[in-house]
Amino acid sequence: MSRGSRRGGRRQTQKTITPFTVSNTNMADEAEDTTPTNALTLQDLRRELQAHKDEIKAEIGSSCRELKGEITTLRSETKADMKSLHEEPTGELTKLHTAQTETKDQLEEMGTALSDTMDRVATLEKTQQELAKKCKSLQEKCQDLENRSRRRNVRIVGVEENSEKGNMLTFIPAFLRDVLGGDIFSSPVVLNRAHRSLGPKPAPGGRPRTIVVCFHYYTDKQKVLDAAKARGKLFYNGRQVHLFPDVSPEVGKMRTSANARRQLREAGIKYAFVYPAVIKILNQDGSTTSLSNMEEINGFIKTIPK
């Protein structure tokens, strides 16, 4: 390479270095010049940050106040709701307590009323028992009086209808003479009344109504029954008739032991009815046996040798 070119290259090198140095110097100057400008910017930044911080703080404070207000409102609402919820069960409990108190009072009243009722029922039961005894006694007395009023009556069963031809008082003496004989009465029999039993007249061929005869003297009535018992079977106009003492329907029901009496008659045992419905049996040794119900009668019949 020639010197000229070397020199030219050096010169070129120098020329290129010189501007670099100058530019560095300028940059340094510029840096020195810009230092105050950067400091102002940091202050402004700090102010902006402080302002932003204040804004955030203000927003946070506002949000906190709003949140506090909302919390206060929510607390008030919650307190009101809790108070309402507390008052509602309290009202219901008050109603339940009132209802319980009323029920308790009613139960106490019912208990008192029940106790009084039980006492009254006990008194009524005692009174009813006493009245039942009195009623039974009165019934027995009435029954006794009724049967005493029938003591002179005789019931004649089996006489055909219209046999009396419209005059029963004339018919009965003739009937007794024909059936029992004319020697049982030393004088004409005296009758108070004689009539058919109350009831509709039977149809032709039907069962005739019973004739009830009331004697003026009890001894005449007893003579008729004794004579009928002594004769056994009695007939009038070819029909069998029966003579019975007249008793009340109640005593008649008590004496419904026809089968037992038939068995006693078939066994040849003598018996008699004792008021009201007691069968008195005369034993062979002279003693008597009284039978007051069907069970006793059936038991006695079983002991009879066949």
CATH number, domain containing residue 230: 3.30.70.1820
What tens digit of pLDDT does each residue of 52-85 get? 888 888 888 888 888 888 888 888 888 888 877 7
**Domain tally for the chain?**
3
2 is a domain residue: no
| End-to-end CA gap in the chain | 192
Q: Which residues pair with 215 in a beta bridge?
A: 191
85, 115, 148 — which closes off a domain? 148
**Helix 218-231 with 168-180: angle, nearest 10 deg:** 40
The answer to whether the CB of 214 falls within 8 A of the CB of 152 is: yes
158 is a domain residue: yes
Report the SS3 class of residue 286: coil
Residue 175, domain extent: 151-246
Quickly count: other Cβ atoms within 10 Å of residue 62's Cβ.
10
162 is a domain residue: yes
Burial degree of 152 (CB within 10 A; 0-12, 13-18, 19+)? buried
What tens digit of pLDDT does each residue of 241-279 get? 999 999 888 888 777 755 667 777 777 777 777 777 777
The answer to whether the CB of 192 falls within 8 A of the CB of 215 is: yes
Shared domain for 256 and 242, answered yes or no, is: no
Quickly count: other Cβ atoms within 10 Å of residue 145's Cβ.
11
Shared domain for 128 and 155, answered yes or no, is: no
Quickly count: other Cβ atoms within 10 Å of residue 159's Cβ.
22
Residues 6+ apart with CB under 8 A from 155: 210, 211, 212, 213, 243, 244, 245, 246
Shared domain for 107 and 173, answered yes or no, is: no
**What string of pLDDT tens digits covers the 306 residues of the chain?**
444 444 444 444 434 433 433 444 444 444 444 444 444 578 887 888 888 888 888 888 888 888 888 888 888 888 888 877 777 777 778 888 888 889 999 999 999 999 999 999 999 999 999 999 999 999 989 988 999 999 999 999 999 999 999 899 999 999 999 999 877 888 888 999 999 998 898 998 889 999 999 999 999 999 999 999 888 889 999 999 999 999 888 888 777 755 667 777 777 777 777 777 777 887 777 788 887 767 777 777 777 666
Shared domain for 275 and 235, answered yes or no, is: no
- The span from the CA of 54 to the CA of 50, in Å, is 6
Closest C-alpha to 156, from 177, 141, 175, 137: 175
257 is a domain residue: yes
88, 115, 148 — which closes off a domain? 148
Shared domain for 253 and 242, answered yes or no, is: no
The whole-model pTM stands at 0.55
User: What are phi and psi for residue 72, nearest 5 degrees?
Assistant: -60, -45
The CA-atom distances, in angstroms, between 9 and each of 18, 82, 86, 142, 245 are 14, 99, 105, 180, 191
- The span from the CA of 184 to the CA of 176, in Å, is 9
| Mode of pairing for the β-strands spanning 239-245 and 211-215 | unpaired
199 is a domain residue: yes
195 is a domain residue: yes
Shared domain for 155 and 242, answered yes or no, is: yes
82 is a domain residue: no
246, 271, 295 — which closes off a domain? 246
